Structure 1
């Protein structure tokens, strides 16, 4: 008999234990290094569990699935930052974080697939990367600014480069993935929970601005280019391939049979659906604009 879902009015409050220690070292008159180590443990996280029961004394053994304080998660890592200011007309800041987020469940329903798929309807306790686990993240910011009255026509000029990078998040590989079918809780996984990681991303943004004083008004036209290198930053992958481009479903026995039955139109529609722009971050985006500052006007 299929397990039945229910409610639980006896859930406990989640418990969080968090530690953080930091260190700051001045390297020179205009530079400083910061190091921070952190650890966070959350207990009694809620997830669905299966329980056996009988409606009658000698009745059949039934399954009941309801939420329970069954999971825990830990996040630990180290963060580094370097700040350099007043380096002629330049300032530089850089941040890097290495962290690991692991636990037994990423959400209140992450055990549901295992509960329905397993023959004993049990939710296994496996420590695995959590859905939001991102091992490496970093930012480098280089800023060039000329104050008013300096460098002639370059006065009040500002240029900024922002480099950001991150590693990919984990996902659970699947045997196959059909964009036009039911990939529900009975779909077959391959490997352990969140045993694969999506590709990382890197992005470079550039902004340039020149300010002009017109009486008491400051006019600042600017150009802002996001994703300057037009990198194909992947945000989502198909779990059957680990690729943002194809599920490879059309090459499976089921996909081939459906293609033969429905014809070339089905194949083209499916490939168009696979070509999903939502699997990527923004392309190169150029913005032109200006700002007006009236703060010097006396009212």
Structure 2
């Protein structure tokens, strides 16, 4: 019988005004999850040992964050945030211990970095916008306020990589993974960076009760090729190291066409899910009815 999962959370924060229009917020938190579901091996059961789900896992997440906010001053509004967090526990999901449970080993538990343990996160937002009516201070051509209710928003983010388990030797795409080097989730994927930009303009009609907005949005402005997944032996998103290894060279010797085998294997390693989405440009219209 499975029990309800339990969450205990503590949080404390402090906010300080730095002037009439800006403030700094500091926040610290601690979260503890208990009785999380995990696979369990029931040994010496009749008629045979079997695997089931039980309430065995626990995880903790702790860290702090800094946030700076500046209310709109003139045409500009700014906010920035940095957070540092640590997510550790005995399992990253209900099936993360399935291989151990099936191996016949005791139901061991040890604390490790979780799959979603992302230590550092930075974000910054800059919004430049013109007001309307008497608040407008932009370009005027023949009594037409060209940029009234128009603006540009820039969002930048940077985050450290998620953990993974490095492998001791290369292995083929259809082979069983080799043993890990060091501890589970002891290595880190590369950092990720992204800048998004949105420009828009709004028109009011029906005595200001309804709006029409046109916008242009550019996601991943710099077309940054962020690495999301890697091959655990090389740490590369494009090469698992198998063809250049001694095992791979031996496998090539037993193929009918070595060049064809190498070419097709290289093609199979090209995984689009190892990289983030490239630059996207969106144009649209919104109606506020």
TM-score when scaled to structure 1?
0.84
Pair 1:87 & 2:87 matched: no
Pair 1:254 & 2:247 matched: yes
Question: Which of residues 132, 142, 145 is equivalent to 2:126?
Answer: 142
Q: Return 35-44 or 203-212, whichever deviates more.
A: 203-212
Secondary structure of the 2:223 match is coil
2:10 maps to which residue? 19
1:159 maps to which residue? 152
Q: Return 150-159 or 81-90, whichever deviates more.
A: 150-159
Secondary structure of the 2:172 match is coil
1:277 maps to which residue? 272
Pair 1:106 & 2:92 matched: yes
Q: Return 219-228 or 79-88, whichever deviates more.
A: 219-228
Using the TM superposition, give the Cα deviation of residue 213 of structure 1 relative to its aligned residue in structure 2, in angstroms: 5.5
Secondary structure of the 1:53 match is coil
- Structure 1: gaps of 5 or more residues: 1-9, 57-61
**Residue 136 and residue 93 in structure 1: after superposition, are their counterparts in 2 closer, same or farther (change >3 A)?**
same
Q: Return 200-209 or 214-223, whichever deviates more.
A: 214-223
CA-based RMSD: 2.2
Using the TM superposition, give the Cα deviation of residue 214 of structure 1 relative to its aligned residue in structure 2, in angstroms: 7.0
1:3 maps to which residue? none
1:5 maps to which residue? none
**Residue 163 and residue 54 in structure 1: after superposition, are their counterparts in 2 closer, same or farther (change >3 A)?**
closer
1:204 maps to which residue? 195
**Residue 85 and residue 269 in structure 1: after superposition, are their counterparts in 2 closer, same or farther (change >3 A)?**
same
- The Cα offsets for residues 15-68 of structure 1, whole Å up to 9 and x where unpaired, read as 221111111212212112111111111112222233432649xxxxx6443333
